[in-house]
Structure 1
Amino acid sequence: MNAPRRLSSILAISLATLLTGAGGAAAAQTSGVARSWTATWTAAPQRPGANYTPNWSEQGFSDQTLRQVVRVSAGGSAVRIRLSNAYGSAPLKIAGATVARAGSGAAVRPGSVRQLTVKRARAFTIPAGAELATDSVALGLTDLDSVTVTLYLAAPTGPATYHAQAMATSYRAAGDHRADPGSGAFTQTSLSWYYLSGVDVLGRASHRGAVVAFGDSLTDGYGSTPGADNRYPDELAERLAATGRPRAVLNQGIGGNRLTVDSAWLGDKATSRFRRDVLGRPGVGTVIVLEGINDIGMSEAPSPLGAPPTDVSAEEIIAGHRELIRQARAQGVRAVGATLPPMKGSRYHTARGEAKRDAVNAWIRTSGAYDAVVDLDRALASPSDADRLDPAYDSGDHLHLNDAGYRAVAQAVDPADLIG
C-alpha cells in the first residue's frame, strides 16, 4: 500500500470513530450491560469500472435514490451505517439517507424508517478517499435480520466506489424517495452495492470477536443463488446462530482478488487491503483467510476481464500469507488459514498450477504459521479424484461452488477456532 492510500485509510478509520459521537457512547452505558460497537455486515470497496455484470459505478448517480438491502449476521440495540468514498475522485455529497427494516424487494416495513445523520445533520459530505460512520440510530435488530439503506444523491457523484458482486439486488429511482415505504419508484436494478461498506450494531459483549471471512470469489459467493444469502459467511453465521451462540461474520471477499497483484477491476491486492478491510472493522477477533487461487490461475490464463497473466510463484503466495498473519497478530487478531480447494477441469488448471496449489496447501497445513487451519482442499474434493471438486459442490465451472458447496465450507469451520 502506498503512503497516500495508507494515510487515507488511517484517516478514514479515525474519522469514523469521531463521527459516531456521544450517542454511541451513551447507548453503550444503558441497561447496566457491557455493550460495544461491532461490525455485523460488510462489503469490500472496489474501484469503479467494468466487471462481470453491468453496473452503475462508472456513470455514478445524479438526482437519484439508491436503495440497498443487506442481511446482518448479529443483532443489537442500535445501528450505524458505514459509507465509503475510498475510490472517489471528489467529495461525495449525501443529500439524505435512511435505514429501515427490509420488506419485500425494495419495500420497507411500515413504521421502521429512520433518518441517518452525521453530527446530527441529515445532509453530509464524505471526503475523497475516506469512509465514515453515521450517528447511531435506535433501530433494534435481531440476529440475521435484513435492513434497507437508502441514499438520496442530488448532485452528480461522478464514478462511484462500489462492490461488484453483491449476489443481491440493489434498486434505483429518479428523484428523492429516501423515505418511501413502498417499492413503486424503484424501477431499475443492479447486482452490485454502491458506497455501502458496513453496518455496525451496538450489541452485548457476547457479540464481540467478529469473524472476518477474507478472500476472493469463493468468499464473495460467486456461484451461489442470488438473493438467497447462501455465501459461505452467511451459512457460517446461520450455523453459529443455530447453536445459540451467534457471532458477527463479515464477508470481505472480492471476486478475482489476488494476494500479490493489484487490479483496477479485481481489487487491491490482499496484503494491501487487509488493514482496511479486516483490521479497520470494529470488534474483529478472528480472520479466516482463503486467498491464492487467483494468483495461481492468473499465472496461467488471462483474467476473465482481460488482464494479462502475471506469473506468481508458490513462494510468493506463501510470503503473502505470512504478511497477512503478521498484520493480524500485530493487532491481536487470530488468523485461521484455509487450504485452496480443488480446481481440476477449470480454466485455471494446469500441471504447473496444480504443483503450486499443492505446495501452498502443504505449507498452510504443516507450517504452524496459522493459529488454526480449515482444510477445504479435502472437505470439498471429489471422492474419486482429490484434485477435482466434488460434483455435489460444483457450480459448473469446476472452480466455484454452488449453495451446497458454500454450506460445506461453513460446516468445515470449527467454531472452537473462532476465538475473539
Structure 2
Amino acid sequence: MKKLLTPVFAAALGLTLLSGPPADARPAHPVWRAAWGAAPQAPATGFTPNWSQEGFSRQTVRQVVRVTEDGDHARIRLSNAYGTSPLVVTGATLARTDTGASVEPGSVRHLTFGGRRSATVPARGELRSDAAALGLRRLESVTVTLHLAGTTGPATFHSQAWTDTYRAEGDHRADVSGRAFTARTASWYYLSGVEVSGGNPPRKGAVVLFGDSITDGFGSTPNADRRYSDALADRLDRPVVNSGIGGNLVLNDSAWYGERATARFRRDALDQPGVGTVVLLQGLNDIGYSEAARKVGAHPTYKPSPVVTSAELIAAYRALIDAAHDRGVRIVGSTLLPFKGTTHWGPTAERTAAEVDHWIRTSGEFDAVADFARLLAAPADARALNPAYAHPDRLHPNDAGYRLMAQAVAPLV
C-alpha cells in the first residue's frame, strides 16, 4: 500500500492536495480534451532572443502549433500567469496553417470570449475562448493570432517553441497572407493550450510529458515537429501534451526557466483536460547545475545551483506520484539520460544520478518505468550518450534519439 502524501509535506513541496474528482471528471457537454499545450513561464532572457520582456503594443502576434487530437470545435487557453496587470486582447482568430505565417483561405474563425471578440485576462490568471466551429484533424498545424492594440507590458510566454512565431505592426488578425508578419522569434506568447470537443474521442486519456529541456525538445530540428512529444504522438491514437520547460528544476524555482516542478505539476500536468497518464523525466538539472556552475562561473543559466542529494529528489518524485494518484492519473517514471562529457558531469552528479536511477528502476512506486539511461547509452561507455542519438552538446538527444525515446514510451502509456 502506498504511503499517502501528508498536507505538511505537500505544502513544503509547493503542492496542494485536492479533494474530490477534477472538474473534467464530472459529466458535461461538450467534453473538452487537450490537443496541444505549452507550460507558461515568467518573462526572461532565456536561451534565445525573444519578446517576453518588452511585450507588445499595437501589434499582432501569430503562432503555429500542432494539435494531437481531432474535434468538431476548438478553443484556446490564454495564460497571464506571470502578468502583474490585466492583459487586454483586442481580438483573436484561429485558422488552419498554410505555410509560415500564412493560413488557409476560408479557415479563419474569429474567436469570442463570453460572446465578445475582445477579452481581458486577469493578472496571474488564465482565460479560455468560446468554442469555434473549426474542425481540426489530428496532427495538423493550426494558427492562433492575437491582436494586442494596447501596451501589454512583459508577457507570459514559453521560451523554447522550436517553431517560428510571427509579429506584425497593427491589426492583421484576419489576414490570410503572412506578408505583414515581418518579425519572428522561436517562443510562444500567452498561448498555453488548444482544446477540442466532438470528433472521435480516444478510448484512453491524454498523455502529458512533464520535464525539462529534453521533454521540451531541445536540439530537435526547428519547424519540423520532431520533438520527443511529436514522435510519441505519431505513434499513438490519443492526445499528447508537452509540458516540458527547458532548464527547469524539480526542487527550485529559476528566474529563467520557470517554477519548480513540484509547484507547477498540478497546473501543467494534472489540470490538462482528459489527462490519463503523465510521463516524468526530470532531475538532471538539479543534479548537474552545481557541477556546471563550478566550470563556467556565476552564469544565470545555472542559478540556483545547490548540491542536491538523491534523497531530496526521491522525496519530490514521491510527492508527484502521490499527487497524480490522488487524481486517478497514472505516472510513468524515466531514468536520467547518460551525460558524461557534458557541462553537468562530475563525481557528485555521477553518483547522485546512479542512486536516483536505481530507485526509479527498483522502487516499484511508479506505474511503469522508461529506462532511458540504458536505452540511450553509448556502447563503449554506458555513462555517455550514444553518439548516434546525441545532439552535439552530448546532453540532449537528436531527432533520432527522440524517436527512440518515443518508441520505448509508447507501450507504457
Question: 1:344 corresponds to which letter in structure 2?
Answer: K
After TM superposition, the structure 1 = structure 2 runs for residues 164-243 of structure 1, keeping only pairs within 5 Å, are: 164-203=159-198, 204-206=200-202, 208-240=204-236
Quote the Cα distance in structure 2 between the aligned partners of 1:304 and 1:209.
38
Question: 2:120 corresponds to which letter in structure 1?
Answer: T
Question: 1:340 corresponds to which letter in structure 2?
Answer: L
After TM superposition, the structure 1 = structure 2 runs for residues 338-417 of structure 1, keeping only pairs within 5 Å, are: 338-415=334-411, 417=412
Quote the Cα distance in structure 2 between the aligned partners of 1:306 and 1:283.
35
| Cα deviation, residue 75, structure 1 | 1.1
The alpha-carbon distance between structure 1 residues 190 and 365, as it changes in their structure 2 partners (threshold 3 A), is same
After TM superposition, the structure 1 = structure 2 runs for residues 251-330 of structure 1, keeping only pairs within 5 Å, are: 251-302=242-293, 305=301, 307-330=303-326
- String of CA shifts for 1:336-357, please: whole Å, max 9, x gaps: 0010010000011012111100
Quote the Cα distance in structure 2 between the aligned partners of 1:231 and 1:78.
26
* Matched-pair contact (CA < 8 Å) for 1:47–1:161: yes
Instruction: Give SS of 1:155's match.
Output: strand
Quote the Cα distance in structure 2 between the aligned partners of 1:72 and 1:334.
22
Instruction: Give SS of 2:364's match.
Output: coil
The alpha-carbon distance between structure 1 residues 60 and 2, as it changes in their structure 2 partners (threshold 3 A), is farther
2:130 aligned with 1:101, yes or no? no
* Matched-pair contact (CA < 8 Å) for 2:286–2:305: no
Q: TM-score, with normalisation over the residues of structure 2? A: 0.91
| Cα deviation, residue 414, structure 1 | 3.8
| Cα deviation, residue 280, structure 1 | 1.2
Could you say which residue in structure 2 is the equivalent of 1:141?
Answer: 136
Residue 43 of structure 2: which of 45, 48, 64 is its match?
48
Could you say which residue in structure 1 is the equivalent of 2:69?
Answer: 74
* Matched-pair contact (CA < 8 Å) for 2:289–2:302: no
Quote the Cα distance in structure 1 between the aligned partners of 2:311 and 2:246.
23
| Cα deviation, residue 231, structure 1 | 0.6
The alpha-carbon distance between structure 1 residues 308 and 277, as it changes in their structure 2 partners (threshold 3 A), is closer
Quote the Cα distance in structure 1 between the aligned partners of 2:233 and 2:15.
31
- String of CA shifts for 1:361-403, please: whole Å, max 9, x gaps: 0000000010000000011011111001010111011101110
Could you say which residue in structure 2 is the equivalent of 1:20?
Answer: none
Quote the Cα distance in structure 2 between the aligned partners of 1:414 and 1:205.
19
Matched residues, percent identical? 56
* Matched-pair contact (CA < 8 Å) for 1:48–1:58: yes
Quote the Cα distance in structure 1 between the aligned partners of 2:149 and 2:224.
32
- String of CA shifts for 1:90-112, please: whole Å, max 9, x gaps: 00000000000001000000000
| Cα deviation, residue 308, structure 1 | 4.8
Q: How many residues align?
A: 392
Could you say which residue in structure 2 is the equivalent of 1:32?
Answer: none
Quote the Cα distance in structure 2 between the aligned partners of 1:370 and 1:307.
29
Question: 1:45 corresponds to which letter in structure 2?
Answer: P
| Cα deviation, residue 207, structure 1 | 5.6
Quote the Cα distance in structure 1 between the aligned partners of 2:398 and 2:76.
30
Unmatched tracts of structure 2, length 5 or more: 1-9, 294-298
Quote the Cα distance in structure 2 between the aligned partners of 1:163 and 1:412.
27
Q: TM-score, with normalisation over the residues of structure 1? A: 0.90
- String of CA shifts for 1:29-77, please: whole Å, max 9, x gaps: xxxxxxx211010000000011110000000000000000000111111
Runs (4+) of structure 1 exceeding 3 A deviation are: none
Quote the Cα distance in structure 1 between the aligned partners of 2:64 and 2:409.
27
Question: 1:248 corresponds to which letter in structure 2?
Answer: P
Question: 1:227 corresponds to which letter in structure 2?
Answer: N
Quote the Cα distance in structure 2 between the aligned partners of 1:189 and 1:115.
23
* Matched-pair contact (CA < 8 Å) for 1:213–1:289: yes
Quote the Cα distance in structure 2 between the aligned partners of 1:404 and 1:207.
29
| Cα deviation, residue 222, structure 1 | 0.3
Question: 1:307 corresponds to which letter in structure 2?
Answer: K
Question: 2:159 corresponds to which letter in structure 1?
Answer: A
* Matched-pair contact (CA < 8 Å) for 2:292–2:345: no
* Matched-pair contact (CA < 8 Å) for 1:100–1:112: yes
Quote the Cα distance in structure 2 between the aligned partners of 1:324 and 1:96.
38
Question: 2:239 corresponds to which letter in structure 1?
Answer: A
Quote the Cα distance in structure 2 between the aligned partners of 1:391 and 1:382.
7
Residue 92 of structure 1: which of 87, 100, 107 is its match?
87
